[in-house]
Structure 1
Amino acid sequence: MTDIHSNGALPPAQQALHEIAHGGENVIALSTLALSDVLLPVPGGPGDPDPDGEQDPAAPQGIQLPVYEQEDGIKLVPVFTSEERMAQALPGTQRYRLVPLSALSGSWPSDELTLSIDTGSPDALSIAGPGVRALAALSGSGPGSGS
């Protein structure tokens, strides 16, 4: 994954983040983001056993979320739209899972956790627990999204 396509355009998830960061809440941009795949860092190094065992990577409820606690007590789960942005924010991270953001948000475990998308980038976005679950509804995969 690269930050810029060969035609000079940002990938859809990064373009959506940019629009949200510079133009307020945009439902189309939020929907694009909700439908995107994100990189979820896997704690540990390349020689460490997979903390998720043989779980299906398409089943986010079986994936161990990397939780980082800030000095102010806020607990963040970082995800990234590209390998480059992940490497900038978490240079020691060697492994990740590619996860649909809508699936991750649809099974978000706690209102106490904040989703942080592209931490450290100019377009970083942090979403509190209830907002994370709302992303699943934007993608049509969340609870109550059916008519």
Structure 2
Amino acid sequence: METPAYDDMPTPAQRALDTLAENAEDPAALDTLASSDVLVPVPDDAAAEEATDPSVVALPVLERPGNNPVVPVFTSEMTMADLLPSVSRYRLVPLGALASQWPADDLSLAIDGSSAHGLTLTSEGVRTLLARPTG
């Protein structure tokens, strides 16, 4: 009897992203995504305390010519390794909590970037669609 590899099974967050690709306003998918933990790469230049302090998250910002800067986050280690193989450290962060503290400036959020189920949101979209009360 063969059992499927767990690495090939989509996470609840990835299933939510697939649903949102078909219906961007699906409330259940938005709730699932917001309640999921995401992997946030730790920038190479982040100090050791920023990489381990649970109250501080150093956001990796990628500059894109002609577009707003973007922060990449990932729904699984496999997706992160496929899209950003150079990442050596990351933090696991609740997406809703990250969104509730998202800066007001023009900083986009890319969830799983250019993967088949990737989603990029503007700063306003992050705060409007994904922010959940912390507590």
* TM-score bucket (shorter structure): 0.7 to 0.9
Q: Does 1:44 align with 2:47?
A: no
Given that residues 21 and 117 in structure 2 are in contact (C-alpha distance below 8 angstroms), is that contact kept between their aligned partners in structure 1? yes
Unaligned residue ranges in structure 2 (runs of 5+) = none
Q: CA deviation at 1:71?
A: 1.5
Given that residues 42 and 51 in structure 2 are in contact (C-alpha distance below 8 angstroms), is that contact kept between their aligned partners in structure 1? no
Q: Which residue of 1 aligns with 2:125?
A: 131
Given that residues 86 and 118 in structure 1 are in contact (C-alpha distance below 8 angstroms), is that contact kept between their aligned partners in structure 2? yes
Q: Which residue of 1 aligns with 2:12?
A: 12
Q: Which residue of 2 aligns with 1:33?
A: 33
Q: CA deviation at 1:70?
A: 0.6
Q: Which runs of 4+ in 1 moved over 4 A?
A: none
Q: Which residue of 2 aligns with 1:79?
A: 73
* C-alpha distance in structure 2 between counterparts of 1:101 and 1:24, whole Å: 17
TM (norm. structure 2) is 0.85
Q: Does 1:98 align with 2:120?
A: no
* C-alpha distance in structure 2 between counterparts of 1:5 and 1:133, whole Å: 35
Aligned pairs, how many?
A: 130
Q: Quick one: which amino acid aligns to residue 82 of structure 2?
A: Q
Over 3 Å counting, the alpha-carbon distance change for 1:43 and 1:23 in structure 2 is: same
TM (norm. structure 1) is 0.78
Over 3 Å counting, the alpha-carbon distance change for 1:22 and 1:93 in structure 2 is: same
Q: Which residue of 2 aligns with 1:22?
A: 22
CA RMSD of aligned residues (A): 2.3
* C-alpha distance in structure 1 between counterparts of 2:126 and 2:109, whole Å: 7
Unaligned residue ranges in structure 1 (runs of 5+) = 143-147
> Between the two proteins, what is the percent identity of the paired residues?
45
For 1:105, what is the secondary structure of its paired residue? helix
Given that residues 89 and 120 in structure 1 are in contact (C-alpha distance below 8 angstroms), is that contact kept between their aligned partners in structure 2? yes
* C-alpha distance in structure 1 between counterparts of 2:52 and 2:83, whole Å: 28
